[in-house]
Amino acid sequence: MRGRRQPKRWNLEQAERELEKIEGGWLNPQQRKAVEVLQKESLQGDHFLLPVVEGPPGTGKTSTGAAAVVKKLIALNQSGAAGRYLVLCYTHVACLRFKDVLESLGVQPPDAVYLKPSFSGTPQLDPDRGIVSCDPYLRGLPAHQIRWLRRRPVLITTLLGVRRALSVLASRRIYFMIDEFSQVNKADFFACVDQVRGNAPYQYSLLGDPHQLPIVTTQTHLRPNIFEWLEPRGVKPVQLVKQYRMHKDICSAVNKMREVFHSYPLESAENVKERNLTAMGYEWRPPQDPWMKKVLDPDSPLVLVDTSKLGYEEVRAGSIFFSREAELAARIALAAAQSYHKDGAPLLPKILTPYNGQRDKIAGFLPPALRGEVMTIYKAQGAEYPFVIISFVRSNLNRFVGFLHESMLQQQVYVGCSRAQAKLVVLMSFDTFVEGRHGMFVALHDTPQAVRVEAKP
């Protein structure tokens, strides 16, 4: 039994209007199918349904999940049925992203509550924004605030914060969703499932990309994600195909790498397939240097720079870096900031690399205003940027690329390249990565749409 029928409890009028727009054309066929599957309850007669949505980079899996949540909330509200949503995300940034998407679909900020830890020890509740910080057992929150929380239709928190959400929900039945489940290891997944069992979920559902990078637990140990456990057990996900992030040339490179995974190709949506930096509103002031002009040209969204002639990598105190490639990455970033402007502000490219040592080396060549734009590929996972520069570092006579060749970490090139929206510049030693026949890098190199240039010694 779902409980007695009752009048509408939540203000979802704006969400109802937005849903009409969404169903009228905003969702593509695969997304509509995913939303339909995500409406179904897990207990289906004599079998258990576990809806899984596979969403590669830029395909809108979070938006699809949020649309499903909104549709279910509207149905619950109109029928007076019981049930609330608990959405778990891998990071706090992802929690805020999910909340933002729900609000863009018409859910009022107080009705999609983001629960986070209270580091000060004093709980804080901001009902207008729908943000609450507290300990896992709600200690210090007044009774009227707890009652307010228990009336909210959606709670969003991290997997580590599930106890906090369950303290709010008490024994209420829920709809349970994990976003970016491909970042979740088996132990964390089953621990969360065990904790929510007492809330007798009407449905369990998962959204993610199986080709994301694995979970790092220490420098030497990796854990496979939950998708790698589910796949051999016959779980068939709903696959999102159309991507709304990358220029078609960048998407072509990503598809070449997806061939290495034996996975399906992505299709570029019409509104992004020809979207370069100038189409995004950036004013282009070409640099005087012909080489740099070729690298930064907005009509060349995918540029591969061969750094073979710049020398070799270095190792110091266990840290791997390639000084001359780091210096080149910094020079390209500085030239881009001088060449592209929007609303009077320079474009600050995001600079990614697999190695902490290279990240620090690149930052050392940059002024303070740009140092924060350098990060590891792991750190950038789940984000997107107009302009991305990647330094892959390895350059040696043995054509050895370390962990970049490991089966669980070769996604570094896939994840890094798929962060770019309109411009991607990749620095790598062709002698090391291509002549060494390292599959993902060969796929990137062989992308027909790529412009290839040689770095100046």
Q: Say yes or no: 393 and 372 in one domain.
A: yes
Dihedral pair phi/psi, residue 154, rounded to 5°: -135, 130
- Asked if 411 and 343 touch (Cβ cutoff 8 Å), the reply is no
CATH assignment at residue 54: 3.40.50.300
User: What pLDDT, on the 0 to 100 scale, is given for residue 197?
Assistant: 92
Cα–chain-centroid distance for residue 303?
23
Q: Say yes or no: 200 and 348 in one domain.
A: no
Residues spanned by the domain of 420: 248-454
Q: Say yes or no: 59 and 161 in one domain.
A: yes
Total domains in the chain come to 2
- Which of 191, 223, 240 is a domain's end point? 240
Q: Say yes or no: 188 and 132 in one domain.
A: yes
Q: Say yes or no: 234 and 274 in one domain.
A: no
User: What pLDDT, on the 0 to 100 scale, is given for residue 393?
Assistant: 97
Q: Say yes or no: 177 and 259 in one domain.
A: no
Which residues is 157 bridged to in the sheet?
A: 88
3-state SS of 345-364 is EECCCEEEECCHHHHHHHHH
Rounded to whole angstroms, the Cα distance separating 77 from 71 reads 10
User: What pLDDT, on the 0 to 100 scale, is given for residue 224?
Assistant: 58
Residue 393 in domain: yes
Mean pLDDT for back-to-back runs of 10 residues, the chain (457 residues): 56 88 82 92 80 92 94 90 90 93 95 92 92 94 94 95 94 92 82 92 91 58 60 75 97 96 94 97 97 98 98 93 98 98 96 96 96 94 94 97 81 93 98 96 97 92
Q: Which two tokens stand for residue 113?
A: 């509550």
Q: Say yes or no: 90 and 221 in one domain.
A: yes
Q: Say yes or no: 61 and 203 in one domain.
A: yes
Q: Say yes or no: 196 and 341 in one domain.
A: no
Q: Say yes or no: 231 and 254 in one domain.
A: no
The residue among 103, 190, 116 whose CA lies nearest residue 156 is 116
Q: Under DSSP, is residue 294 helix (H, G, I), strand (E, B) or coil?
A: helix
Look at the pTM and tell me if it is higher than 0.85: yes
